[in-house]
Structure 1
């Protein structure tokens, strides 16, 4: 505010006009953004409604097929036909079943053929439509003849070699109504061409993409000429995170809005990709008109502002020049102002004042003093957050749940990993910053347990610490990043079994020393030099980029130095092909919390 007050009046008016222009441009931009956003939201909602409609139609087809499958599978004629050994009775029952097939197919146009398959490979089907190649393909994928196949499933799409069409199936096991034993399978073959009609009737933008994928991400139906059966590699979503998703991506060189919906009944996916430029194409005339209006208003504002500034500042500049002349002791000079407004009145009063002052100033000796302003600046050091902790309460509860599931299914690895992770997270959320070395090592052992399960004995772990040393205290979570670096950057890339050594002792100089050493791939002299520079030079932190190894070690080094002083911290030595050793230097902290700092 003081800086603005010190500006010349014409500069202040120019600044005011500039601010007005900027606000006008911002308002125009916000106007365009609002309408573009509104148009995109409406288009996205429309596409979402289309996806919901398609999903509803697919679910309706699936529900009808499931209902028809139950009707056929538990028909008394079908049940008797599947287990009967009387040939004459089978011929008689086959007529009834054929009538059921005909009635079912006529009531559901999506059904291409129906097949009953008994345990002894007896097949009852619609002879006009049943295809044996498709049956072999489905049997190879789902092994539905086995006793373990006891749950109905919608298959991925399959192709008949004799034609170019794709089909999908609903395979349902048939159980006896008497003893609930499996007596065969009921297979519905469904035509994908009905789904293609459903997709092709969707009305989206010109270059939009709308398609249905099966559980293997193969195209079932598409509105852009993608062939059925092709694998679709452009994955816009994260599997298993949600049944619906919406995001912005770059598709075929264009920024596009992608929406994804999963059909739970069939495990299919519906995807729509709408180019954003096409969503807002109808807005271009309005946007263009708005831009022209903004340009015209800006020009008018500039012209009017310039005229106002000239008429306002010119008389004031005359007064300023007059006062400058008077300040140079030309007291006989008088101000001549053509304006009769407030500025003219000011000029008249100034002339009267000079007339009165002229008599008085002859005997006054003007003394000038210089005022000096001294400003003291203080440098304030801000400590950036060195530990970014994601509140792991929800992860802790989730891991307990995983442990229970592992126990329920007798998967010991899941139980071990989830239990270890639970202890690590519980340890990480402890309130105190100082913890015992014993607690720190317990967390490290849990981490090494997980690594041992993952790499199946690839590492040999050696821990050497006396019981008295374990009772000492240190900063929490300073060893885990070092051990993790040793695992991933040193031992993981090594051929054969690697060795990790963790030693803790009181040095002869009176401080606690912890060495974490591996015999992994090590580092070259250049790599080691860059790592040390990143650890010790705070100004280079932004230049480290994504080098998580140096960032983690720098984090630990800064925590130690900020807490205990510059004489403490960590150092790294390494040799390519031989391994790496990280040394931690800490003050002796007794179990009571008393810290012995070096003088």
Structure 2
């Protein structure tokens, strides 16, 4: 799709981009309006929740006061004595005191319209204030709030039933003596709810346990059922509900969404006007773009197409004195520079080809001047024969070892067995033993299962020679080189060459490791000078044959020794033997 878009004309691309921007802008307006609605609803919901919590706190505080009042009344000595006697005469004598206690309690809260006391046999024995019809249940074990009720005269009330126990006995036994019934007015709830309205037409209701309306704002009738779930399903309203822990009653808030979003209509109209203005600006931009940019660019493009066919000294005629004119002027200058540089490029290419030919000729001359190693080991065979003739056995042995080493080095195969490498190393070890008269010892430990495995030729001996020359030759005490050939995980062969020689410091070790990677560059053999076959050469040969399947690690401590470890994957050569001969 993107490739198709790049193929159409620039004016169509601009039109498409403008349409996309307008669509995005329209979507942003719709989304922003939706987000604004959601934000307003969320904020109002949070505000309504806070208000409902405040209402809950007010009602809870009211009932905590009622708990204190009921406890102060019912557990006073007068009430306890009144319930503690069953004698009619004693109760008659205490009636005045009971009436006085009730009157004092009724004066504490104007919502308390009446008080009744029932004995432990559910018989009403005292009453003050408003009377109600006898209750179906007149015995309770804990404080119980009734739902809303209507008396014979049409008044609304609810009751609070409080059990009375004997405080003289153990509280665990709960010696039940009777029950007190407080007859409560609901008018105080109207005041609390009306003060907590959020919007003019919002409804804030208090429902009892049977979902009957106890008190409400904007609702004419009470003691009617209110279906909270039905209102919640209506998308035109925001419905919230809180259950009071003391009574089990519910505070329900119903807020019309239309009242919340009235102010957003103005914002919507402003968005529409903004959209129209932006559309007009885009149209004006399109006209200016075509006349001042697209048309000059088209003229410049036509010139470039015609110049590619005709070429020559022709240049673009500058008419527009804006950025397009500057671009055309730079184009004319670039064409002049191209004409001037083309001849320089041809001369430079000619010089480069001549230099490459000279380089190849020098390499051919270097190859011709190399010494033929066959001449060397043939000469050594002659020396060995003469040593036998003159009975110089030591000279004969060392000549034989040296001859075998040269013969091994000039063999055509670059791939040998591990056993061949060990045999070659033993020849070198014999020479070292004769040369240093047993001062330097070469110990070889090889896994016999690896002797037939293939490996790259000339890996072990150069590293051992390096250990002898740099680590042990200048050491006063006897030295030892330990060669361990083992198999590691993943079918890898590991060659470890350790010496107990002079070692090297940290800086020299870092320099040596850096030298390994320098020899990965092509043509390194021409830059080795007189270094001979070293670790860097071995490392590069391994990389040529094994690639990433081979690695080399060097560890060394000053005056302790050096360990060189080589690991490669068996039978995973990147170059065949024939190709390796040219590497």
Equivalent pair of 2:293/2:324 in contact (CA under 8 Å) = no
Specify the alignment match of 2:224 in structure 1: 230
Unaligned 5+ runs, structure 1: 238-248, 358-599
Equivalent pair of 1:28/1:290 in contact (CA under 8 Å) = yes
Q: Does 1:308 align with 2:289?
A: yes
Q: What SS class does the counterpart of residue 235 from structure 1 fall into? A: helix
Residue 272 (structure 1) shift:
0.9
Residue 347 (structure 1) shift:
6.0
Residue 185 (structure 1) shift:
0.7
Specify the alignment match of 1:395 in structure 2: none
* Aligned pair partner of 1:165 in 148, 155, 178: 155
Specify the alignment match of 1:298 in structure 2: 279
Residue 188 (structure 1) shift:
0.9
* Aligned pair partner of 1:155 in 146, 151, 156: 146
Structure 1 range deviating more: 186-195 or 311-320: 311-320
1:549-572 deviation per Cα after TM superposition (whole angstroms, max 9, x unaligned): xxxxxxxxxxxxxxxxxxxxxxxx
Specify the alignment match of 1:40 in structure 2: 41
Q: How far, CA to CA, are the matches of 2:163 and 2:334 in structure 1?
A: 113
Alignment of 1:284-363 (within 5 A): 284-320=265-301, 338-344=319-325
Equivalent pair of 1:94/1:124 in contact (CA under 8 Å) = no
Q: What SS class does the counterpart of residue 105 from structure 2 fall into? A: helix
Specify the alignment match of 2:132 in structure 1: 131
Residue 214 (structure 1) shift:
1.2
Q: How far, CA to CA, are the matches of 2:238 and 2:294 in structure 1?
A: 53
Equivalent pair of 1:113/1:125 in contact (CA under 8 Å) = no
Q: Does 1:9 align with 2:3?
A: no
1:364-421 deviation per Cα after TM superposition (whole angstroms, max 9, x unaligned): xxxxxxxxxxxxxxxxxxxxxxxxxxxxxxxxxxxxxxxxxxxxxxxxxxxxxxxxxx
Q: How far, CA to CA, are the matches of 2:219 and 2:273 in structure 1?
A: 41
Q: How far, CA to CA, are the matches of 2:27 and 2:76 in structure 1?
A: 71
Change (3 A) 1:191 1:4: same
Residue 345 (structure 1) shift:
6.0
Change (3 A) 1:62 1:288: same
Q: How far, CA to CA, are the matches of 1:45 and 1:347 in structure 2?
A: 64
Alignment of 1:382-421 (within 5 A): none
- Answer with 1 or 2: which has the greater Rg: 2
Specify the alignment match of 2:85 in structure 1: 84
RMSD between aligned alpha carbons?
3.5
Equivalent pair of 1:10/1:313 in contact (CA under 8 Å) = yes
Residue 108 (structure 1) shift:
0.9
Residue 263 (structure 1) shift:
0.9
Q: Does 1:202 align with 2:192?
A: no
Specify the alignment match of 2:164 in structure 1: 174
Equivalent pair of 1:217/1:232 in contact (CA under 8 Å) = yes
State how many pairs are aligned. 333
Residue 144 (structure 1) shift:
3.9
Change (3 A) 1:55 1:346: closer
Change (3 A) 1:297 1:83: same
Q: What SS class does the counterpart of residue 281 from structure 1 fall into? A: coil
Specify the alignment match of 2:475 in structure 1: none
Q: What SS class does the counterpart of residue 71 from structure 2 fall into? A: helix
Residue 281 (structure 1) shift:
1.6
Equivalent pair of 1:334/1:351 in contact (CA under 8 Å) = no
Q: How far, CA to CA, are the matches of 2:220 and 2:4 in structure 1?
A: 64
Change (3 A) 1:87 1:126: closer
Q: What SS class does the counterpart of residue 88 from structure 1 fall into? A: helix
Residue 352 (structure 1) shift:
11
Residue 89 (structure 1) shift:
1.9
Residue 10 (structure 1) shift:
1.4
Q: How far, CA to CA, are the matches of 1:171 and 1:129 in structure 2?
A: 15
1:311-360 deviation per Cα after TM superposition (whole angstroms, max 9, x unaligned): 22222334556667789999999977743445456667589979x99xxx
1:405-445 deviation per Cα after TM superposition (whole angstroms, max 9, x unaligned): xxxxxxxxxxxxxxxxxxxxxxxxxxxxxxxxxxxxxxxxx
Specify the alignment match of 1:116 in structure 2: 117
Alignment of 1:11-26 (within 5 A): 11-26=12-27
Equivalent pair of 1:173/1:185 in contact (CA under 8 Å) = yes
Q: How far, CA to CA, are the matches of 2:95 and 2:72 in structure 1?
A: 16
Equivalent pair of 1:61/1:110 in contact (CA under 8 Å) = no
TM-score where L is the length of structure 2 = 0.50
Specify the alignment match of 1:183 in structure 2: 177
Q: How far, CA to CA, are the matches of 1:257 and 1:85 in structure 2?
A: 57
Q: How far, CA to CA, are the matches of 1:310 and 1:10 in structure 2?
A: 11
Change (3 A) 1:114 1:127: closer
* Aligned pair partner of 2:212 in 209, 214, 218: 218
Change (3 A) 1:17 1:117: same
Specify the alignment match of 1:370 in structure 2: none
TM-score where L is the length of structure 1 = 0.49
Change (3 A) 1:205 1:84: same
Specify the alignment match of 2:64 in structure 1: 63
Change (3 A) 1:64 1:236: farther
* Aligned pair partner of 1:265 in 243, 246, 253: 246
Specify the alignment match of 1:277 in structure 2: 258
Residue 107 (structure 1) shift:
0.8
Unaligned 5+ runs, structure 2: 340-583
Give the structure with the larger helix fraction: 2
Equivalent pair of 1:168/1:192 in contact (CA under 8 Å) = yes
Q: How far, CA to CA, are the matches of 1:19 and 1:121 in structure 2?
A: 81
Equivalent pair of 1:335/1:351 in contact (CA under 8 Å) = no
Equivalent pair of 1:219/1:228 in contact (CA under 8 Å) = yes
Residue 94 (structure 1) shift:
1.6
Change (3 A) 1:207 1:312: same
Q: How far, CA to CA, are the matches of 1:63 and 1:116 in structure 2?
A: 20
Structure 1 range deviating more: 100-109 or 341-350: 341-350
